[in-house]
Amino acid sequence: MPARHILTYAQALRGGVERAQLRLIRGWLDAGHDVTLLLGEEGGAFAGELPETLRPIRCGRLAVALPRTVADLRPDILFCPGNHYTGLAAWTRLRLGHDCPPIVAKMSNACHRPDFAAPVRWGHARWLAAHRHFLDGLVAMTPATAAEATAATGMAAAVIPNPPAPTPPVRSPPARRTIVGVGRLEPQKRWDRLIAALPHLDDDVRLVIHGEGSLHPLLEAQVARAGLQDRVALPGHAADPLAAMMEAHVVALVSDYEGVPGVLREALSVGRPVVATASSPAVAEIVATPLHGTVVDRDDARSLVAALRHWLTPGTPMPQPVAPPGHDAPARYLALFDRIVAIR
C-alpha cells in the first residue's frame, strides 16, 4: 500500500530545515502525491517558495492543532522535518495512540551538543534514546551523521541528502576580497568568531554576514567596539543565498555545532572555497579535500585566521564547482514511506 497522503508541519518558513522541507514537498507533489502542510505562523523568509498548488493550513498553536488535524485527515504518513519538531511528533503519538499514522523524522541537527551543560546533555541523550518509542523511521543526511543518529537513538537511520537548490551560472567574485557567512544570527553560529578574526586580516578584506536573529544587536555592538563599521555588513536575510555566496572569495561557517550544514554544499556548488569549524562529523564529509576548503577546530582562533588568509591570498585557485547530492531525495523519501506503511 503506497503512502499517498503525507502530512508535515512547521512553525514558520524561516530556516534551513523548512527550506529543505519545501523542496521535498514540491518533489512529492510533482510525483502525484497529496501533501498537507500545517503551519503555526503566517509568512516567513521562505514563504515565497511555497509550491503554487499547495494550500497550507495555518493553525496558530501546533501542539493543539497537529494531533487534531492528523486525526481528522488520516494521512498515510506523518513527516517530522527536523530535531526541533520531534517533541510534537511524540506528543501526537501519545495523543492518538494506535490511531496515529507512521511517523518518519529527519535528524537535522547535531546529536551531541557541546553548548549544553552536563545535566542537560544527560537529559538530551535520554530524549534521543526515547525516539525509537514514537518514531517508525529515521533519516540522516550523510553516512557519518546516520551513524551518530543510530548510536544515539537505537534506530537504523536511512541516508537521504537534502534536495539541493537549483544552481545558477557561476560567476567571478568581486574585486574587493570578501568573506561571506550565511545563517541565523543565533548563538549556535558563533559569528563573533569571524568578526574577531577580521582585524588580523588585511585592511581591504570585507565581511558580510547574511541572516536574521536575536544576536543582531550584539554583533553590531561588537563591530562598533572593534571600529569595523566600514568592513562588516549585516544586511539581513538573503533571499538568494547562492547569489550571496558568489559575492564571496571564501564562505565561512564557524558554528559550535551543526547537523549537515547545507551552506557548505551550496558554496561548493558555485565554486567558492569554504572555511568551517569542525562542528559536525558531516563537515569533513563535505569538505572532503583541501582543494575545497579548510576545517579548523572550534576554538582555534589562530587557525581560523590562517585559513581565511590562505583562501584570500591573490592567486589561490578557486575550487571547481561541486555538484551537490540529493536530486533524487523526494523519490527516496517516498520509497521509504511506502516501505514503512507496508510494514505497518
Beta-carbon contacts of 339 under 8 Å, excluding residues fewer than 6 positions away, are: none
Cα gap 205→179, rounded to integer Å: 7
- For domain 5-163+326-343, the CATH architecture is 3-Layer(aba) Sandwich (3.40)
Helix, strand, or coil (residue 250): strand
Beta-carbon contacts of 48 under 8 Å, excluding residues fewer than 6 positions away, are: 239
In terms of Cα–Cα distance, which of 44, 10, 42, 45 is closest to 24?
Answer: 10
State the pLDDT at residue 277: 98
Q: In the β-sheet with 274-277, what is the strand arrangement from edge to edge?
A: 232-236, 206-210, 178-182, 250-253, 274-277, 293-296
- For domain 178-312, the CATH architecture is 3-Layer(aba) Sandwich (3.40)
Cα gap 24→59, rounded to integer Å: 21
- Assess contact for 233 and 223: CB atoms under 8 A: no
Grid cell digits, residue 280: 559536525
- List the end-to-end C-alpha distance of the chain, in Å, as a whole number: 10
Question: How is residue 75 annotated by DSSP?
Answer: -
CA 211 to chain centre: 13
Cα gap 172→321, rounded to integer Å: 12
State the pLDDT at residue 268: 97
Same fold for the pair 5-163+326-343 and 178-312: yes
Query: Over the stretch 177-211, which tens digit does the pLDDT of each residue have?
Result: 999 999 999 999 999 999 999 999 999 999 999 99
- Assess contact for 257 and 280: CB atoms under 8 A: yes
pTM: 0.89
Across the chain, which distance is largest between two alpha carbons, in Å? 63
State the pLDDT at residue 253: 98
- Assess contact for 176 and 203: CB atoms under 8 A: no
Q: In the β-sheet with 103-106, what is the strand arrangement from edge to edge?
A: 57-58, 34-39, 5-10, 77-80, 103-106, 137-140, 158-159
CB-based burial label for 83 (10 Å; 0-12, 13-18, 19+): buried
State the pLDDT at residue 22: 95
CA 80 to chain centre: 14
State the pLDDT at residue 287: 97
Residue type at 196 in one-letter notation: A
Q: Taking the domains of the chain in order of start, what are their residue ranges? A: 5-163+326-343, 178-312
Query: Over the stretch 152-161, which tens digit does the pLDDT of each residue have?
Result: 999 999 999 9
Q: How far is CA 81 from CA 9, 10, 293, in A?
A: 7, 8, 29
Question: How is residue 86 annotated by DSSP?
Answer: H
State the pLDDT at residue 116: 85
**Exposure on the CB side of residue 70, measured as CA atoms within 13 A:** 29
Positions in the chain whose pLDDT score sits under 70:
1
Cα gap 74→85, rounded to integer Å: 20
Query: Over the stretch 96-145, which tens digit does the pLDDT of each residue have?
Result: 999 999 999 999 988 888 788 889 999 999 999 999 999 999 999 999 99
